[in-house]
Amino acid sequence: MTLSRVRVGGAALNQIPLDWTGNRRRIEEATSLAKKQGVQVLCLPELCLTGYGCEDAFHAEWVAAQALDSLLALAPATQGMAVAMGLPLLHQGRLYNTVALVVNGQVAALAAKKVLAGAGVYYEPRWFSPWPAGKTTRIQLPTGPVPLGDVRVNLGELQVAFEICEEAWGRDLTQGGWRPAFPQEQPPDSKGQAPSPQGHAPSPQNDGLPDVILNPSASCFALGKHHTVENIVVEGSRQSRGAYVFANLLGNEAGRLIFDGTVLVASGGKLTARGPSFSFQPVTLTTAWVDVRANRLERRRLGYPEEPESAKDGQGSPRPWVLQLPALPESPDIPAPAPAPAPEPHEAFARAVALGLWDTLRKTKSGGYAVSLSGGVDSAAVAVLAALSLKLALAELGAQGVAQALEHLPDLPNLLAAHPGSPALVNRLLTTVYQSTENSSPTTRAAAAGVAQFLGTRHLEWDVGRITSEYRALAEQALGRPLAWQGDDLALQNIQARVRSPGLWLLANLEGRLVLATSNRSEAATGYCTMDGDTSGGLAPIAGVGKTFLREWLAWMETSAPAPLGPVPPLAAVNRQAPTAELRPPAAGQTDEADLMPYPVLDAIEQSAIRHRMSPRQAWERLLTHPPAGFAPTPRQAADWVARFYRLWSASQWKRERLAPSFHLDEENVDPKTWCRFPILSAGFAQELEELRKQIET
């Protein structure tokens, strides 16, 4: 009987690096859910057995050995189906990023990643070796010999191929895999002999091309990236005229990268299923029916080439090595859901950071969050995101699920039983503190109080002016002179910001809370932040986005925020203010943009300098020809802004080296531990800025 359709699935997993027991448990849960849904072929994320973010722990041989043990322990759970799961594999002294296809309880094949992700936030070439395209060998596992490399697998009439994450992004640059390219080596059989080509030929009902392409991925979140991913998946299915299953990791797995957990299924060039994004569940499953017969008819109609007859009979160029396996059981006729919509950018940002915060809270076993709420944009954004993380968790997991996820907090079950709504949870787990000095205004105090009251935080107010004065007196006594704003401006500003840190840390230590830093990417790029002041914290949730986006997002949250938080009207008091550090006397009228430059201009120059790697002169020319909306700078004004940015960037690298861990949220960031490395000591673009000065004067 000719195969007509197959039920495929992809599962998103919220894994933890080196959490062997927990990672296996979540894989078992995904497999069990898939069986209940009648899934015949299931795709799990890249490196899901170890966790993707093991970093240099991948260099340890025992990690690969433990991953293999986990794979073999999980194999019995795959009875009646085929499951692809990722793991590192040590072979002949090299470590490979592989995907094991486990069928009916047995490891059937291991596909090795050919194109490694080594740009931006990815460092795979540091740990793994790329597998040569078209090459296949055989390795000996405790359960027997298994093919390794550039493999395809026949499950009866159904042929399955692999494209592991980055291989899809560099699809036009690669060879082998599911395209009509042929390997140069055939694996020996279990006795070390060359295989019989006839023994591995495609089914008579199969044209030799893959019916299903599995893409186990670890593709981190970035604003707007989901469109690109969807296009890659749909185009993969169009090019192959088959089905394409993309399964991504979920959540804040290792500390900096957030994975949206999206599962996509496309067939014949059309998207047929999209799973939920940013789920707080540890496992989500997305399924779809694939019309195999229709795809094969379309390949025939379009004249897609079959495998060469010379390859089938062992003559001429060798064909892709194919492992022949028994057919899978039929799947019950269970309807598959329609594709879920992708969130728009403002909502995607909110849900991504909220999920990242939630995972940090539960994985660090912290007692809650602590935020220094100044009444300005940055701290208000952090407080709103922290509250949103708790409200989303409760809405999706329920009281029992939240208590289970935060089982290190023994008081939560009784609290949530007595007060099942989110206000009690937010009040218990989020503390905000307004810390005033003589330079603080009633406006920011009222704004902070209004936001805190709406969110339901435990809100405190205390004055740190006396502590600031005592530090000032100590310095004056040591120096033998009074301090004055005219000559000691920067030092007098910074001491106010720094004295706000110890009290918040004391409170956090007493209650086991996680201190959230409030600095953003624009401030980090220019060093417009006080080290051990607003940069102080164990996590910097918004350091991956610029001030311009944050202001737009906070305005959106004021009127359009989605459930369960809903619009936050008190943000109006924050949004109508000009951003200010409030560290100079009120009469000075201090604003951030007067100290630096307009934030849209700053962010535009940062994009030129950091994302596009432009010189000062190139950034200047781009600012003149493509200024931000509403700006038309003169050549001299543009040059002044560009020079200020490059000088500040160079002088503040030491600050970026010390920033708290931050989330990667955009196509670029300024975190030297992930995306953008820069020397702490440099010439500061002196020659380049001098050339720009001369250009202006001529």
CATH number of the domain residue 565 falls in: 3.40.50.620
What is residue 305's predicted lDDT score, i.e. its pLDDT?
65
pLDDT band at 156 (very low <50, low <70, confident <90, very high): confident
Assess whether 68 and 176 both reside in one domain. Answer: yes
Count of domains observed in the chain: 3
Assess whether 515 and 615 both reside in one domain. Answer: no
496 in a structural domain: yes
pLDDT band at 302 (very low <50, low <70, confident <90, very high): confident
pLDDT band at 322 (very low <50, low <70, confident <90, very high): low
Assess whether 400 and 302 both reside in one domain. Answer: no
- Identify the sign of the CA torsion 539, 432, 351, 83: positive
Maximal CA-CA distance, the chain: 96
3-state secondary structure at position 387:
helix
696 in a structural domain: yes
What is residue 311's predicted lDDT score, i.e. its pLDDT?
44
Q: What span, in angstroms and rounded, lies between the C-alpha atoms of 275 and 336? A: 11
Quick one: average pLDDT of 235-251?
A: 96
Assess whether 113 and 190 both reside in one domain. Answer: yes
Most confident of 338-342, 362-366, 580-584: 362-366
Q: Which of 535, 564, 590 is the last residue of a domain?
A: 590
638 in a structural domain: yes
Assess whether 278 and 420 both reside in one domain. Answer: no
Assess whether 321 and 390 both reside in one domain. Answer: no
- 448 token code pair: 């902070």
Quick one: average pLDDT of 364-369?
A: 98
Q: Dihedrals φ, ψ of 478, to 5°?
A: -70, -40
Q: What span, in angstroms and rounded, lies between the C-alpha atoms of 174 and 384? A: 44
340 in a structural domain: no
Structure confidence by residue, pLDDT tens digits, 623-664: 999 999 999 999 999 999 999 999 999 999 999 999 999 999
Average pLDDT, the chain: 90
Quick one: average pLDDT of 166-180?
A: 59
Assess whether 279 and 391 both reside in one domain. Answer: no
Q: Which of 590, 608, 626 is the last residue of a domain?
A: 590
What is residue 181's predicted lDDT score, i.e. its pLDDT?
33
Structure confidence by residue, pLDDT tens digits, 333-350: 777 677 777 888 999 999
What is residue 316's predicted lDDT score, i.e. its pLDDT?
38
pLDDT band at 313 (very low <50, low <70, confident <90, very high): very low
CATH assignment at residue 218: 3.60.110.10
Partnered with residue 460 across adjacent β-strands are 433
Q: Find the length of the chain.
A: 698
Assess whether 54 and 86 both reside in one domain. Answer: yes
What is residue 187's predicted lDDT score, i.e. its pLDDT?
39
180 in a structural domain: yes
pLDDT at 309 over 80: no
678 in a structural domain: yes
Assess whether 262 and 360 both reside in one domain. Answer: no
Assess whether 350 and 483 both reside in one domain. Answer: yes
487 in a structural domain: yes
Q: What percent of the chain has pLDDT over 90?
A: 80
Quick one: average pLDDT of 377-401?
A: 97
334 in a structural domain: no
Q: Which of 590, 605, 632 is the last residue of a domain?
A: 590
What is residue 698's predicted lDDT score, i.e. its pLDDT?
79
pLDDT at 292 over 60: yes
Quick one: average pLDDT of 193-199?
A: 33
Quick one: average pLDDT of 410-426?
A: 94
Assess whether 488 and 524 both reside in one domain. Answer: yes
Q: Which domain, by its residues, includes 651? A: 597-698
Q: What span, in angstroms and rounded, lies between the C-alpha atoms of 274 and 244? A: 12
Assess whether 182 and 211 both reside in one domain. Answer: yes
